[in-house]
Structure 1
Amino acid sequence: MDNSGSDSSASDTEGPPPSPGVAGPSQGRKRASNHEGWKRVLAKAKLNKGEAYISPASQRAIPQRVIGAPCRDGCFTKVTQAGVHSIFHHFWGLADYNPQNAYIQKMIDVMPVKRKRTEAEVSRRSVTRVYHVSYNNIRTKMCLPGFMAVHGITKKRIDNAIRKMTHTATPLLDLRGRHKSANKIGGRKAGRIRQHIRLLPAMTSHYSRAKAPNRLYLDSTLNIRKLYDIYLTWMSEQFPQEERVSFHYYSDVFTCEFNIGFEPPKVDTCTICDTLQMALSNATIEQKAEQQAKLDDHKREAKKAQDFMKRLQDDNNLETRAVCMDLQQILPTPKLHTSVAYYKRKLWTYNFCIHNLKTKYLLALMPANKQPFYNNIIDAHTAGITEDIPTDEDADDLDELLTYE
């Protein structure tokens, strides 16, 4: 019977895999806020379109914009009813406050007063406004009531648009709601949080990367509250003069920007994957393509081996058997709760498992002190693997044994 080894690179028996630090912010495990779905954002969009909406501030129902009543000067007749409807729908179809203001400013000519109608030295009317509309490339003069009725707007809206015009006749942008929040935390404070989280040794799940490729795991004894306490200690030691953030802000950054959990994965990580991933994160721009290609090639080879192992498991060939061997990392050492321990790698006590893919028979072996004649527990049990693992009633037909490590 031939024993041929097939390394699927699922795990390495030379020692525990390195614990990569958190590379940087990625898609967080907490769902991001959908700003487009906020009530005030939806209300503002409907306001700019002239649609009916509920005011977020007063909770009043604001009716839809409609064409006003015709003026006494017969301006609607000059433009025709079709022109009035076309101008109205195109104006509100802009759906943006700034282009609408620019349109209003374009349709109004501001000129000096030609005739003084008061005996006072200084009149309240300093300029005269001449209103126009354009339909079929014909610019038609209108009165103020007619101009407001055609567009479904008020005089206040016209005054605001004229006031937001510079001396060079260029419109000013609407700056409402564009100020910086006085309570916003950013810059160095937020950077210290990210810097602290990147210092933590995190591990990934090798076999579960298809379901959660960006998921990282920290020590299971940690939680966000303990992590925040460690952050306070770290800030006191490294940056005593800088201000700390609150627990709630630290928690928001941790959950929204980082996809990190505290429950360890059910399977171990691949040493080669972790090594290549660390090399990729520390590579220069010129080296990134090469390191990424190595990582992709390694994952493709691992995928081929896993697919082949699955075919062997489902194969009914009585002359071939396959067993899978792996080391489960089950016991971290030492198990300390001091803050400095959370920045260090742990030693792991492994459980050596041998799984018969045909019969589903499982053999778990630990620890090494029960094998006094072998320095390596792996050599001890692989030497007698054919005797330790029973096959089935067709074992006499067995001709080839494939081992996966």
Structure 2
Amino acid sequence: MGPSDSRPANVETKTAAQRKIRRQRGLPYTNRKQQEVAPPQFKFITCKCNNDCHDLSLEMRRQVFDNFWQLGSWNAQSSFLRSTMTEVEVKDHRDTPNTRQRSTVVKYSLMNGMRVCKKVLASSLGISPMRLDYIRVKKTLASGMISPDKRGKKNPANKTHPEVISSINVFLDKIPKYSSQYSNKNRSYFHPELTKKKLHELFCNENPGKTVGYGTFAKIFRAYEVPIYKPLKDTCAKCELMNTKGKSLLAKDERDTLEEEDAKHQQSADAARAELKMAESEARADSDVLTISFATHKTQPIPHINTSVAFYKRRLWLYNLGINNRKDNTTTMCIWTEPEGKRGSNEVASALTEFLHAENVGKYRHIRSFSDGCEGLNKNETMISFFFHICRTTLVQSWTHVFLEPGHTYLPNDTDFVKIERKKNARHAVYNFEQWHELINECKFKVIHMKGKFLDVSQLTANHEFRHTDTQGNNFSWSAMKWLRVTEGSSVMEYKTSCRPEEPVKKIDFTRSGVIF
């Protein structure tokens, strides 16, 4: 197996670095053998030497101990230890033959020159006497300064040569880069058909004299910070079509026309997103405004198990409509099973009704809602009739709905559904409806079981006559509609075919003769 694709961790977070930091600060740590190492212990001992050790109280020794380990650095601690030592020449020697005579003697001092013995000094600092000898003999330079710690400074024998790293970076620079409309415009990617293994093979073929293993190449590739593009699943069909056409068209006039259409499409998608942000701000500032977004989660199987046999069995399906209240960013999940209801506009309108009742719809005067443009669920006569019905039967004065561009929706509900998926993947299995209910509830969402709460909202369509031309005689297209508004006491719907500010608002009258509200 190759190395991990994740980016290398920060040095400060590595186990070895943390171990070193904790050891130098006098804290407990785990060594490389995974053994717990206790922190240095303060010891108060008494001695019978002729120094001032007996004048060094417990509080003074404890203060010296704490200050020493708070230095937190081997170099700083070594400098402190060297400052406690003073070497003095021996003046007189005994006339003892065949014995080694010392030329100097070391005197130790603490707390403003207070003379102490070596044994008391080491025990007060929680170190061994050998460390004092090591500092004096091995680490003291001729100038009297301490030689800095050089451990870990040597380059390992298997370190990748800088020339190899440079050659790989030069090779990667030559590979064409691409940008994606679904991410930051300043971000570049390698073509999705490439892989690290393919790039490694290309590098080896281009540089036969340089032997670079795949692990080394993959590590340098990660540091290059230009990823391989992973195509998204839920992309915009119109954008993909325009990109395909753009690659095949050669005529300048056709290319200009295509670029103009693409610019308008992107403006419409951006305008819809701006409409959502503006509605969110309006709802948080005005207590009379309710802003929501709703979307259906992908169907979930009951039971959800990873056994291969389950893929060949007909399982029960769980349906879920997520409704996100943008005023306080709370989410309500309306769930039901396949026998309890279908997955259409009746079920969507019924779930919205339950949500509005739970939110006390009577305290709002204006509702702003956002969803995708699925005609079977959200963009149809049943949902329009439902919007009219809410404005007529409650204190709501207007309902504005925006259909975001397919592939550009990025609804808050998508984030909510990801939480459910992660929670599901963390479980071994979900066997029944109750466990699904519990799982969604653990995601901190409000859960409404829709069993027995579905309404036949489609009956409301009998109150309207859905025409195919607007008040100005223009043909009305359900699929082209991106924005709509209905108001109380009227059967006239305002609509736009784009959320761009310059797009004119049109009206279409759905009044049915003989129907009086």
Within 5 Å, which residues of 2 pair with 1:12-51? 30-51=6-27
Cα displacement (A) at 1:139: 1.6
Counterpart Cα distance in 2 of 1:248 and 1:303: 41
Counterpart Cα distance in 2 of 1:311 and 1:52: 53
The residue aligned with 1:308 is: 271
The residue aligned with 1:245 is: 212
CA contact (8 A) 1:29 1:256 kept: no
- Mark the CA change 1:178 to 1:124 in structure 2 (over 3 Å): closer, same or farther: farther
- Mark the CA change 1:264 to 1:199 in structure 2 (over 3 Å): closer, same or farther: farther
The residue aligned with 2:103 is: 126
The residue aligned with 1:261 is: 228
> Identity of paired residues, percent?
18
Cα displacement (A) at 1:233: 1.6
- 2:163 is equivalent to residue 188 of structure 1: yes
Cα displacement (A) at 1:100: 0.8
- 2:200 is equivalent to residue 228 of structure 1: yes
Counterpart Cα distance in 1 of 2:26 and 2:7: 32
Cα displacement (A) at 1:29: 6.9
CA contact (8 A) 1:39 1:56 kept: no
Cα displacement (A) at 1:358: 7.9
Q: Secondary structure at the match of 2:198?
A: helix
Counterpart Cα distance in 2 of 1:101 and 1:32: 33
Cα displacement (A) at 1:199: 1.3
Q: Secondary structure at the match of 1:206?
A: coil
Cα displacement (A) at 1:118: 5.6
- 2:79 is equivalent to residue 102 of structure 1: yes
Gaps of 5+ in 2: 244-263, 279-373, 381-402, 407-473, 487-491, 501-517
Cα displacement (A) at 1:173: 0.3
Counterpart Cα distance in 1 of 2:120 and 2:31: 28
- Mark the CA change 1:171 to 1:399 in structure 2 (over 3 Å): closer, same or farther: closer
Cα displacement (A) at 1:306: 4.6
One-letter identity of the residue aligned with 2:220: V
- 2:76 is equivalent to residue 113 of structure 1: no
Please point out which of 175, 180, 203 is paired with 1:200.
Answer: 175
Counterpart Cα distance in 2 of 1:142 and 1:158: 14
Cα displacement (A) at 1:59: 3.5
Counterpart Cα distance in 2 of 1:177 and 1:59: 22
One-letter identity of the residue aligned with 1:160: Y
Q: Secondary structure at the match of 1:261?
A: coil
One-letter identity of the residue aligned with 1:41: A
- Mark the CA change 1:81 to 1:177 in structure 2 (over 3 Å): closer, same or farther: same
The residue aligned with 2:122 is: 148
Counterpart Cα distance in 2 of 1:91 and 1:183: 37
Please point out which of 123, 132, 138 is paired with 1:158.
Answer: 132
Cα displacement (A) at 1:304: 7.4
CA contact (8 A) 1:217 1:263 kept: no
Counterpart Cα distance in 2 of 1:149 and 1:306: 72
Counterpart Cα distance in 2 of 1:125 and 1:176: 32
Cα displacement (A) at 1:184: 0.8
Alignment RMSD: 4.4
Cα displacement (A) at 1:63: 4.7
One-letter identity of the residue aligned with 2:56: V
- Mark the CA change 1:303 to 1:190 in structure 2 (over 3 Å): closer, same or farther: same
One-letter identity of the residue aligned with 1:148: A
Q: Secondary structure at the match of 1:85?
A: helix
Cα displacement (A) at 1:126: 3.1
Counterpart Cα distance in 2 of 1:218 and 1:66: 59
Cα displacement (A) at 1:251: 1.1
Gaps of 5+ in 1: 1-27, 272-300, 316-354, 364-385
- Mark the CA change 1:389 to 1:119 in structure 2 (over 3 Å): closer, same or farther: same
- Mark the CA change 1:304 to 1:52 in structure 2 (over 3 Å): closer, same or farther: same
Cα displacement (A) at 1:222: 2.2
- 2:42 is equivalent to residue 66 of structure 1: yes
Counterpart Cα distance in 2 of 1:161 and 1:52: 24
Counterpart Cα distance in 2 of 1:102 and 1:43: 22
Q: Secondary structure at the match of 1:47?
A: helix
Cα displacement (A) at 1:225: 1.3
How many residues end up aligned between the 2 structures?
A: 278
Counterpart Cα distance in 2 of 1:114 and 1:162: 21
Q: Secondary structure at the match of 1:109?
A: strand
Counterpart Cα distance in 2 of 1:252 and 1:362: 39
Counterpart Cα distance in 1 of 2:20 and 2:275: 61
CA contact (8 A) 1:67 1:152 kept: yes
- Mark the CA change 1:79 to 1:182 in structure 2 (over 3 Å): closer, same or farther: same
TM-score, scaled relative to structure 2:
0.45
The residue aligned with 2:295 is: none
- Mark the CA change 1:220 to 1:153 in structure 2 (over 3 Å): closer, same or farther: closer
Cα displacement (A) at 1:228: 0.9
Cα displacement (A) at 1:49: 1.9
The residue aligned with 2:57 is: 80
- Mark the CA change 1:304 to 1:69 in structure 2 (over 3 Å): closer, same or farther: farther
Q: Secondary structure at the match of 2:76?
A: helix
Counterpart Cα distance in 2 of 1:189 and 1:264: 31
Cα displacement (A) at 1:191: 0.9
CA contact (8 A) 2:268 2:499 kept: no
Cα displacement (A) at 1:260: 0.9
Cα displacement (A) at 1:120: 4.0
- Mark the CA change 1:388 to 1:221 in structure 2 (over 3 Å): closer, same or farther: farther
Q: Deviations over 1:48-83 (max 9, x none)?
A: 122333332583634533224222237443122221
- Mark the CA change 1:60 to 1:361 in structure 2 (over 3 Å): closer, same or farther: closer
- Mark the CA change 1:70 to 1:49 in structure 2 (over 3 Å): closer, same or farther: farther
One-letter identity of the residue aligned with 1:170: M
One-letter identity of the residue aligned with 1:89: D
Cα displacement (A) at 1:399: 10
Counterpart Cα distance in 2 of 1:81 and 1:97: 25
Counterpart Cα distance in 1 of 2:274 and 2:34: 66
